[in-house]
Amino acid sequence: MIRVTIVSPNHALRVGLREMLSGHSGISVVGEAVNLESMNEEETEVALLASVSSVSLMAGKKNYAILFLTDDVDAVRSLLNSKVRAWGVLSAEATEDELAAAVLAAGEGLWVGAPGLVEGLMRFPRGESAGDDSLIEPLTAREKEVLQLMAQGLANKQIALALGISEHTVKFHLSSLYAKLGISSRTEAVRRGIELGLISL
């Protein structure tokens, strides 16, 4: 059961979102809050954020995922540097089924979102990316494939199946990736890959 806290200063919006999610198995709305600061982090696995004004409150490592409901991708661009379990962005016009699917995916630690919105987040402000040039040692073609699949939320076993290699080999590529990118987790690897323009979604 994925535990969700609905975050918005708008009471009517919180009530509406609770109603939309209450009928879905696998989802339990455990609380409501006006901002992230007043939310009970211990009980929350996914913070459903319907107000982008709470972005600035994110500091330190978080053990919950954040799912934004907004069409303003620039307002949530700071997500790429936040230390949350996972994140996602959906249009404010998302359907009930889309919302529930996104909550469940985010609760499992996957990065989710409407294609157009996620694409906007991946785009660099000046239309440029650092690419492999800023790496001490460039990634191999296979390492780039592993990074791309990891960004799509695939687990090691799924990556192995997709590439026709063993799970052990996937782990080997991940170790090499981590070393070259100078990071130590999947979340950091994806964030760094986005920053360098190595990931396209």
CATH of the domain at 176: 1.10.10.10
Domain boundaries, position 145? 131-195
Does one domain contain both 16 and 115? yes
In a domain, 64, yes or no: yes
pLDDT over threshold 60, residue 28: yes
Of 122, 144, 173, which one is at a domain's C-terminal end? 122
Asked if 164 and 99 sit in the same domain, the reply is no
109-120 pLDDT, tens digit each: 777 777 666 656
Say if residue 165's pLDDT is above 70. Answer: yes
Q: Both 8 and 84 in a single domain?
A: yes
CB 201 within 8 A of CB 152: yes
pTM above the 0.95 mark? no
Last residue of a domain, one of 105, 122, 139: 122
